[in-house]
Amino acid sequence: MGSAGHRTYAEQQRSHRASLTQIAVFASGASTAVPIANFTVTGLSLICLALVPAFLLMTHRGPDLTPLVLAALGWLSFIASCVVNHVSFLWPNSIAPAAFSLYLIGLTVITGRAVDAIAAALAGIATGTVIFFLVRGIELTHTGSFLDLWKYGIAPAVTILLLFAMTKIRSVPRLAVPALLVVLGLVSLALNFRAHALVCLVAGVVVGTRTVLGSRIARGWQYAGVAGFGLLFAYLMPIAARTGLFGPVLQHKTIEQQSTGLPILLAGRTEPPMTLTAILERPLLGWGSAQRLTPEVYTAAEHLAVRMGFAPTFPFDTYWRLPPMEYSAMHSVLLGSWAEGGVLAVLLPVWLLIACIALVWNCDRYGRWMPLVVTVAVQGIWDLAYEPWNYNSLPVYACIALFYLAGHFSGRARIDSPP
């Protein structure tokens, strides 16, 4: 009897220590609410810097160090490009690979590469993001409109927090989480945030399909069905939006963009012709900064855009020539890294893109955290292709890297944290 009681006490102690660990990991992630330098350095950066010695004492496999090597190559490439193009080393995009490395090092120590600890850190980062945009924010979220706050600030972070909370509640029905993702997708459509809507709906379909079908139907066929859903969404959504089904804001924007006659991805993101032209002009070392592009590059980019289907009267300057020190001109982590930092700078974004795809493909390895992992990965695929670096995106990518490494190079993903 005493032995049983002792075991019960030991189990309670282990549970208590595990809870304290989760709280500490969550709090560390939430320190990202404190901005220090643009989007690259936050309060979490200081914690990660203090943990570098602990990282050096840990045991690492070759794959664990791969993203750090690629980030180092990208940073060196950016430095060389900045020197050649007379750009400041403090240009935010040039610091991004180094900042990513620091986050990855610190979060590796904080989480111990356990999936539930990575999820707790990710939820903490999402909390820090929400606090930042509610307290400080950026110019686009200072309009006083909740639509702008949702679209330009908190939507992905709120999604992560809701998924984290529902996963921690063990009694939630299995299909409640994909249903939540579908609801969030519809809400974002009504709030004129189509990219987030697509992410949530695709993630919801992936999670729902894997939950219901499991291994009864080949995984390839299941994902073919998901791809078909994505294509169907891309076809039907503009039709429904034009009718005003999702509100007048999205209706007006859809009509305006369809009047250009461009595919929806180019209508919503006009930067690819500019970025591709910049890459073709300087594929090895890049331009250092989008602010260094010459009038000749812009002219060549406009000619390419017209060949791609843009009207010659399209106001390219309005969309392409941003104010000085605006780091988001390229509007693509993947292509922008290559255009600004050179070919070596694109290696890390390519690795992250592969990691995101692998997380979706092998999502079953993450157990109860599958919905969170799938959603973050699908969001990562979109952001790498169509978004610049954003506030707190770097630590989120570090969590994506940790999820990938935890589930693909250790036999079986370790879900629980060590005591």
**Cα gap 254→241, rounded to integer Å:** 7
Alpha-carbon distances of 308 from 201, 267, 268, 274, 419, rounded to whole Å: 29, 11, 14, 12, 57
Cα pseudo-dihedral 107, 29, 20, 113, rounded to 10:
-20
Looking at residue 315, the DSSP 8-state letter turns out to be: -
Block residue for tokens 């000619």: 303
Say what the pLDDT of residue 368 is: 92
Say what the pLDDT of residue 260 is: 65
What's the one-letter identity of residue 23? I
Say what the pLDDT of residue 419 is: 43
**Cα gap 154→151, rounded to integer Å:** 7
Say what the pLDDT of residue 235 is: 79
> What's the helix, strand, coil split of the chain in %, to 5?
75, 0, 25
Say what the pLDDT of residue 192 is: 87
**Cα gap 230→314, rounded to integer Å:** 29
Q: What is the pLDDT of residues 274-307, one digit of tens each?
A: 999 999 999 999 999 999 999 999 999 999 988 8
Q: What is the pTM of this model?
A: 0.91
Task: Give the chain's largest Cα–Cα span.
Answer: 85
**Cα gap 163→373, rounded to integer Å:** 10
Over its length of 419 residues, how does the chain's per-residue pLDDT go in tens digits? 444 445 676 667 777 777 788 899 999 999 999 999 888 999 999 999 999 999 999 999 999 999 999 999 999 999 999 999 999 999 999 999 999 999 999 999 999 999 999 999 999 999 999 999 999 999 889 988 999 999 999 999 999 999 999 999 888 888 899 999 999 999 998 898 989 999 999 999 999 999 888 878 888 888 888 888 888 887 788 788 788 777 777 777 777 666 666 766 665 678 899 999 999 999 999 999 999 999 999 999 999 988 888 888 888 888 888 777 778 888 899 999 999 999 999 999 999 999 999 999 999 999 999 999 999 999 999 999 999 999 999 999 999 999 999 988 765 556 665 44
Intra-chain end-to-end CA distance of the chain, in Å: 25
Give kind and range of the element (H or E) at residue 185.
Answer: helix 176-190
Say what the pLDDT of residue 5 is: 46
Say what the pLDDT of residue 243 is: 81
**Cα gap 32→106, rounded to integer Å:** 13
